[in-house]
């Protein structure tokens, strides 16, 4: 089982302006993005006080200012939020149909697309990290040279002792082709220690017929720790020594499915950083995911993030 050199966490990705439907045709403005959601939830867990840095680029407009202010006010390290004068933050709107959601995006001028354009800046942003979290969306918004630069910088950070977690989070519309997505993700897996895929993504992109096939494919890429999310189905985990499954507890009063996987990642990774074994950390991920499902938008309201110290670990089936 892998061990962390420290609990200092760095998440790299895009934050966007979120317009989340709250019912009756009204929307609430906030900020969200998959890697950002994970980082934000990790920093809010009561009692843990995890040091979390979010690495991105935003504009110099008032909404970008508001994002940086909100980031700092919620306890995250914003020292590597770069500012780009001629760019803005991307924007997306969540449209709900019952509890299911669809997304509308405006992100062509997103400053985050430039987050890996400066080698030295990017390398400095990762220094001292025990854990670095990246997603497939982070890769997808970058041009090919920037993807390669990010991956090589992650490789350097790993040589310095950091571990890398990766959620492929496949969004086909962000990729020019399935082949381009597979090529970039394959390269990313070479620097991944903890993989956090969703089975529906893996089945669609790679043709996996079961979560067990996903585990075997990622093990062949030398990924040390693998957690396959599967909606309301059982979670499959490989901890480096054994394969197990944990059932997914039903969630009552679901309001919105946005951000459920990101919140799971936050709970799982926080529990791992606190020393829980992978099979036990799943329960913390599920509690975080269930909580975000009961609220509108991709993040749990401030002050309502659950205390993971009270979570009872699962004893999963082999």
| Distances, alpha carbon 141 to alpha carbons 133, 145, 175, in Å | 16, 12, 8
The answer to whether 10 and 55 have CB atoms below 8 angstroms apart is yes
* Per-block mean pLDDT, blocks of 10 residues, the chain (318 long): 94 93 80 95 92 98 97 96 97 76 87 97 98 97 97 98 97 96 98 98 97 98 97 93 89 74 96 94 92 80 84 64
Which among 117, 179, 262, 318 is annotated as catalytic? 262
Neighbouring residues of 307: CB distance < 8 A, sequence distance ≥ 6: 45, 46, 47
pLDDT, position 300: 81
| Per-residue model confidence (pLDDT) at position 308 | 83
Burial class (CB in 10 A: 0-12, 13-18, 19+), 224: middle
Q: How far apart are CA 11 and CA 132, in angstroms?
A: 6
Asked if 106 and 137 touch (Cβ cutoff 8 Å), the reply is: no
Question: Can you give the pLDDT at residue 31?
Answer: 93
Domains defined for the chain, CATH in brackets = 9-14+34-62+80-87+111-308 (3.40.1190.20)
In sequence order, what E strands does 40-106 have?
A: 52-58, 81-83, 90-97, 100-106
| pLDDT at residue number 315 | 61
pLDDT of res. 70: 94
Give the contacts of 68 (CB within 8 A, at least 6 positions apart).
58, 78, 81
Tell me whether residue 208 is one of the annotated catalytic residues: no
Structure tokens at 112: 């985050």
């Amino acid at each position: 089982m892998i061990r962390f050199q420290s609990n200092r966490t760095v998440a790299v990705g895009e934050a966007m302006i979120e317009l989340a439907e709250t019912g009756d045709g009204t929307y609430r403005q906030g900020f969200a993005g998959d890697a950002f959601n994970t980082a934000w939830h990790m920093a809010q867990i009561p009692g843990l006080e995890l040091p979390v840095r979010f690495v991105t680029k935003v504009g110099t407009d008032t909404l970008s200012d508001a994002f940086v202010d909100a980031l700092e006010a919620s306890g995250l390290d914003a020292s590597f939020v770069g500012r780009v004068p001629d760019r803005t933050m991307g924007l997306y709107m969540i449209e709900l149909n019952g509890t299911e959601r669809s997304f509308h995006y405006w992100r062509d001028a997103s400053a985050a697309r430039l987050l890996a354009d400066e080698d030295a800046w990017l390398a400095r942003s990762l220094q001292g990290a025990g854990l670095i979290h990246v997603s497939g969306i982070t890769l997808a918004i970058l041009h090919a040279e920037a993807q390669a630069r990010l991956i090589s910088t992650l490789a350097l950070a790993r040589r310095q002792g950091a571990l890398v977690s990766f959620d492929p989070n496949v969004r086909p519309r962000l990729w020019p082709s399935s082949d381009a997505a597979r090529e970039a993700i394959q390269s990313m897996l070479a620097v991944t220690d903890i993989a956090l895929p969703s089975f529906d993504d893996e089945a669609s992109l790679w043709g996996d017929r079961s979560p067990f096939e996903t585990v075997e494919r990622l093990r062949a890429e030398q990924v040390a720790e693998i957690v396959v999310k599967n909606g309301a189905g059982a979670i499959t985990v490989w901890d480096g020594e054994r394969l197990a499954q944990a059932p997914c507890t039903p969630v009552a009063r679901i309001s919105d499915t946005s951000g459920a996987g990101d919140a799971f990642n936050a709970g799982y990774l926080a529990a791992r950083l606190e020393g829980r074994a992978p099979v036990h950390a799943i329960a913390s991920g599920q509690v975080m995911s269930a909580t975000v499902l009961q609220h509108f938008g991709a993040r749990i309201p401030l002050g309502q993030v659950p205390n993971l110290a009270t979570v009872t670990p699962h004893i999963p089936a082999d």
